[in-house]
Structure 1
Amino acid sequence: MLRFLAAALAFAAGATCAAGGTRAGAADETDQWNVNAPPGEHQEIPLDVTEGTWMSLDVSPDGERIVFDLLGDLYQIPIEGGDAVSLTSGLAWDMQPRFSPDGAHIAFTSDRTGGDNVWIMNADGSAPRQVTREDFRLLNNAAWHPDGDFLAARKHYTTRRSLGTGEIWLYSTSGGDGVQLVERPDPAFQKELGEPAFSPDGRHLYYTRNSTPGNVFIYHQDSNQEVFQIRRAALATGEDEALVTGPGGAVRPTPSPDGRLLAFVGRDREGDSFDTALFVMDLESGRERILYRDLDRDMQETWAVQGVYPNFAWTPDSASIVFWAGGGLHRVDVDSGSVSAVPFRVQDTRAAVKPPRFSVDVAPDQVASRMPRFARVAPDGDSVVFEAFGRLWVRGLPDGEPRRLTRDREDAFELFPAFSQDGDRIVFVRWTDAGLGHLHVVDADGGRSRRVTDQPGHYRQPRFSPDGDTLVFERASGGYLTALEWSLAPGVYRMPASGGAMVRLTDGGRNPHVAADGKRIYLTADGPGGEQHAHELISIDLNGADRRVHATSNYASRIEVAPGGRWIAFRENYHVYVMPMPPGGKLDLTRDAGSVPLARATTAGGEFLSWV
């Protein structure tokens, strides 16, 4: 039987892997989640507002109506303003409405089936139907092709960062998987790309892209320089060119119906404020001018998955633009620059689920640990060591009373414990913010620990070699939440367990652990880049040479080889999985893998996995 530890709890994987072919199923999903009807006590909250936040809008092709989003629902008003008519309702989040070229339909983004997809409904809000059916690469910012048969939308892609970038895909209004129009500049690209808009003749696609150097997103982007640019792609030839560039950036391209002008959002480059402003560009001469200077701040410096600024729209005669700013809707005349308010009033309700309330003792005499970490079972299976409240504890199995492992002074955290193979010693990291970290070794029976490292550092995941003579460990870099000092040589190291010189084996990698024969070290390394094979399980010899790749994974956050080398465990999307480790070849570690049998070892998720 295979056993795991996750958050100090043992999970039995059973004989599923040995049986051959049986794969772990998902939890019982007989009760399907309904976004608009979640469990719990519902209440209706009255809504009566004349202002809104971050509202996307569109103007009907006949120029008579405005459709807009507000707090996750869609509404319609006359072009001159007035009381809003509700088009959608419910707990689902609906946004970014766009009229079809004939005005008969409205495309919009909705999460009513669990994730953002493109939907179409009649212009009166009736007969909504789903166009795209993505359950992972979610979509937003739908834009109609002038023929009314296709929609372009931004499709979301992640790399090694949580938010990521986009591509522009084209979808038939009848459905289908779509066709790629604009590809990411690189599989490792982490920056924003989106906000599609077609030219009135249907020959070109406008879109925005973060144009700062490199693939890696950074938070301190300088908006005094160019962060975003508007690009134009020719649909027939695929030719792609930068159209609006320069300091202050350019986003949310919106061509006029007559095709002469391009409205967009950028920073005011004429003064020293660099405030967000509404611009128009003459597409023949390239001349730009500011129409309106008091827009709300755009999102150029940060991630903007749903768009850098809300949608705005031209009137059909190309004479004026309707937009949102400062909580209200406005209309600006393109020739004169005169601005008028478009008043609206939304009288509606919002459904809300009452949150559960619990009585909490804010000052109890005793506090239960809710997150024991780094659990490791002794080789003889009689005890477990784990961390809670910053200290290491040992507990006899199956139901012994926890006791403190060390008698060290109380001003340090004790982290990342690991037993020696004979069960006599435990190595761990001792950390203080002032003194940084050191590796310590303590008898498994407890007592005062002994420091074995000479230099402080950002140490993680120490392990004994099978013979107990060597320690392998990570040495990471600081500088984010911890001090930057002692960060110059990160990587995987080895050193004598009794203390002595450290030998650097790699300049990267994490979670090193020694093979049963003591001749090789397994560790997780970054893959060649991008989303595919983002992580690799590799092994090296004790000198850091003879690198071999044993497995790859897009999403595994922890990979661990069993002590005997016959099994491999990994964590993906909070669950722990196990599969046999073949003597050769390269495994694809994923919960959907079919190359070898796979079993899920957790029921409600797992963390801090280790083999017993």
Structure 2
Amino acid sequence: MIRIPRQPDYHSGKIAFSYAGSVWMANEDGTNPRRLTVNAARDVFPRFSPDGKWIAFSSNRYGNYDVFVIPADGGEPKQLTFNSANDTVVGWSRDSKNVIFNSARGRVYPGVLSLYRVAVAGGLEVPLDGDWGYWGSYSADGLRFVFNRHAPTWWRKHYRGSYAADLWIEDVKAKTFRKILDQNVADEMKTNNTWPQYGNGEIYFVSDRQVSAKAGTREVLRSTNNLWKVPEIGGKPVQLTHFDDGSLFFPSISADGKIIVFEENAGLWKLDTVTGKVNEVRIEIGTDSKENNFEVLHINGEADSYGLSPSSQRAAISAHGEIFTIATEHGDVSRVTHSYSRETEPTWSPDGKWIAYVSDEGGRDSVWVADSDGSNAKKLTDTDNEKLNIGWMPDSKAVYFTSSDHGLYIVDAGGGQPRKIASNDAGNILGSHVSPDGKWFAYAKQDRDLRAHVHIVSAQGGEEHRLNDDLLFSTLAPRWTPDGKKLIFLGGYVQGGSATLRENAAALYSVSLSEEEKDPMSRDIDSESAAESTERADSSRGGRAAAVEAHAVEVKIEFGGLER
């Protein structure tokens, strides 16, 4: 049996529905299913004309969703609308000459849906009489039209509020409107009354109104979508179905008002409005997919994060949810991850053996490490928060990261429990960076005014030291120099929150971490001996000796004398 047949409609023993992006039709007992449309695009919301000769549907085969019609027995689709806004088929006029659809074309306000009709014979769309409009249905004589004025977020369960989908009836000749339900209900108690269908003096609709509860209470969570009806003149609604999963969507009534078909918990169901009998329509489909099981992608310019190898000859990048390594100049591309999850934020260990990254395999962000060729992948964290700013300790034995619980953590590359180093009440830790000797962390964190300030803390945790930045509005993005003697950071007029509406301005600053023998701002060479001394010092910093020297760095910080 197929799962998730979508947006069904009924006419004279036949059910039209959308499945796997195509329009299908089957007998009302589920037998003899056959595909009516075949296109790589999505064809949705099929609706029979009242005379049974046509099926209207929406398709995005030319970009956005437009209205199309085909003969009910199948045939070449005919496009009726050509607007850049999405057009969703709702139903038909009773004479089968016009398709009713909703669209947000800015008629009332940008983004607000209104109802329109378009002739099967072709021509310009014509707005219906109301202003806003989401869904609707004509009475059998075509003299009345029931509709939702407010458009619900249909997949949002348990909603209570002023924007709940409401039921209105229009007298088509008089062009007058009246609300037929919940006129005197407080906003905090109003439920969605969605997808109204006109049938023999009754209005059928979907609602979770069986639970009378205020928005935000525990009681409201017991509410579930079911089919209801109310007399067209108004009155007390009557519940028709009693499903308890809350997943009843998109009902549609037959032209004679006797049958309603609808989605329920990823299946297709039918209600006889005369007897009240409800039964599932089970459909078996064995067919070839319209698309290949595998797709070859050509990715160019889509890397969303990267990390250089220690030699800078290769880089680890994330693109299309996977981790790759590439040569920075000449060389082959190597794929590191092979999963259906999203992997990002790759960073190479200093010894070049490992790549750490973030993956949502398992349903939530976790820090993983793998060999640089992708083998021996291992998950290091299992906490329910977003992982950010991944980095390695200088000895390649541990990984540090920040997370959306406002913490800075270290976790051993071999596994174990993450250890919290620092935290912040106002927001996430920003731009953490470990010192060359692995003993200190520098990072920025916001105060309660959302002004960021650079802090330093021991890699073992403990007391934080805020950089003396009283002369600057905020400081952020700290980075240690390779010799560990200075901290480089941004400072200036930078702030989060609504203050980002103005232009931020920052400059690059450095601070000496211990007392210096000469003025760090001095660039003077006053003699040839000074020039020769400078040249010897510069040459000694290059090559493999520099790497050995860097490995032996010991960072010394005199917190009492930190000055810019």
Match of 2:233 in 1: 284
Match of 2:282 in 1: 343
SS at match of 2:113: strand
C-alpha contact (below 8 Å) 1:83/1:346 kept by paired residues: no
Write the letter of the residue equivalent to 2:85. Answer: R
Check 1:104–1:496 CA distance in 2 against 1; reply closer, same or farther (3 A cut): closer
Return the structure number with greater strand share: 1
Do structure 1's residue 250 and structure 2's residue 193 form an aligned pair? yes
Match of 1:275 in 2: 224
Please point out which of 438, 444, 448 is paired with 1:432.
444
Do structure 1's residue 130 and structure 2's residue 71 form an aligned pair? no
What CA distance in whole angstroms lies between the structure 2 residues aligned with 1:55 and 1:494?
49
Do structure 1's residue 141 and structure 2's residue 89 form an aligned pair? yes
Matches within 5 A, 1:84-483: 84-134=33-83, 136-157=84-105, 164-181=111-128, 193-210=133-150, 223-225=159-161, 227-245=164-182, 247-256=190-199, 258=200, 260-270=201-211, 272=219, 273-294=222-243, 297=246, 309-314=249-254, 316=256, 318-353=257-292, 354-356=294-296, 364-365=309-310, 366=312, 368=315, 413=431, 432-435=444-447, 436-438=450-452, 451=469, 475-477=495-497
Write the letter of the residue equivalent to 1:432. Answer: A
What CA distance in whole angstroms lies between the structure 2 residues aligned with 1:223 and 1:106?
33
What CA distance in whole angstroms lies between the structure 2 residues aligned with 1:140 and 1:232?
21
C-alpha contact (below 8 Å) 2:24/2:33 kept by paired residues: yes
What CA distance in whole angstroms lies between the structure 2 residues aligned with 1:330 and 1:53?
11
C-alpha contact (below 8 Å) 1:54/1:310 kept by paired residues: no
What CA distance in whole angstroms lies between the structure 2 residues aligned with 1:233 and 1:476?
49
Check 1:337–1:268 CA distance in 2 against 1; reply closer, same or farther (3 A cut): farther
Check 1:368–1:131 CA distance in 2 against 1; reply closer, same or farther (3 A cut): same
What CA distance in whole angstroms lies between the structure 2 residues aligned with 1:92 and 1:497?
50
What CA distance in whole angstroms lies between the structure 1 residues aligned with 2:145 and 2:57?
19
What CA distance in whole angstroms lies between the structure 2 residues aligned with 1:283 and 1:231?
10
Please point out which of 56, 60, 76 is paired with 2:7.
56
Write the letter of the residue equivalent to 1:250. Answer: N
Match of 1:65 in 2: 14
C-alpha displacement of 1:341: 2.6
What CA distance in whole angstroms lies between the structure 2 residues aligned with 1:493 and 1:115?
36
Matches within 5 A, 1:508-587: none
The C-alpha deviation readout for 1:510-567, integer Å capped at 9, x for no partner, is xxxxxxxxxxxxxxxxxxxxxxxxxxxxxxxxxxxxxxxxxxxxxxxxxxxxxxxxxx
Check 1:153–1:457 CA distance in 2 against 1; reply closer, same or farther (3 A cut): farther
The C-alpha deviation readout for 1:311-340, integer Å capped at 9, x for no partner, is 422472x34422221233222233543322
Write the letter of the residue equivalent to 1:228. Answer: A
C-alpha displacement of 1:182: 5.4
C-alpha contact (below 8 Å) 2:158/2:223 kept by paired residues: no
C-alpha displacement of 1:493: 8.1
C-alpha displacement of 1:294: 1.5
C-alpha contact (below 8 Å) 2:44/2:59 kept by paired residues: yes
What CA distance in whole angstroms lies between the structure 1 residues aligned with 2:278 and 2:105?
39
Check 1:495–1:94 CA distance in 2 against 1; reply closer, same or farther (3 A cut): closer
C-alpha contact (below 8 Å) 1:431/1:437 kept by paired residues: no
The C-alpha deviation readout for 1:65-93, integer Å capped at 9, x for no partner, is 11111121111112233131111122121
What CA distance in whole angstroms lies between the structure 2 residues aligned with 1:336 and 1:203?
27
Write the letter of the residue equivalent to 2:193. Answer: A
SS at match of 2:206: strand
C-alpha displacement of 1:233: 3.2
C-alpha displacement of 1:310: 2.0
The C-alpha deviation readout for 1:232-286, integer Å capped at 9, x for no partner, is 3343444333333353220001111x3x111100004247521111111121352
TM-score with structure 1 setting the length? 0.47
Count the aligned residue pairs: 342
Check 1:220–1:119 CA distance in 2 against 1; reply closer, same or farther (3 A cut): closer
Check 1:72–1:311 CA distance in 2 against 1; reply closer, same or farther (3 A cut): farther
Q: Greater CA radius of gyration, 1 or 2?
A: 2
Write the letter of the residue equivalent to 1:253. Answer: P
Task: Give the alignment's Cα RMSD to 1 decimal.
Answer: 4.6
Check 1:474–1:364 CA distance in 2 against 1; reply closer, same or farther (3 A cut): closer
The C-alpha deviation readout for 1:481-521, integer Å capped at 9, x for no partner, is xxxxxx6x7764899999xxxxxxxxxxxxxxxxxxxxxxx
Return the structure number with greater helix share: 2
Check 1:154–1:389 CA distance in 2 against 1; reply closer, same or farther (3 A cut): same
Check 1:172–1:269 CA distance in 2 against 1; reply closer, same or farther (3 A cut): same
What CA distance in whole angstroms lies between the structure 2 residues aligned with 1:165 and 1:98?
23
Pick which of 281-290 and 222-231 moved more.
Answer: 222-231
- Structure 1's unaligned 5+ residue stretches are 1-49, 186-192, 299-307, 372-387, 391-409, 415-429, 441-448, 460-470, 478-486, 499-612
- Structure 2's unaligned 5+ residue stretches are 213-218, 319-344, 348-407, 409-428, 433-441, 455-466, 478-490, 509-564
What CA distance in whole angstroms lies between the structure 2 residues aligned with 1:194 and 1:75?
25
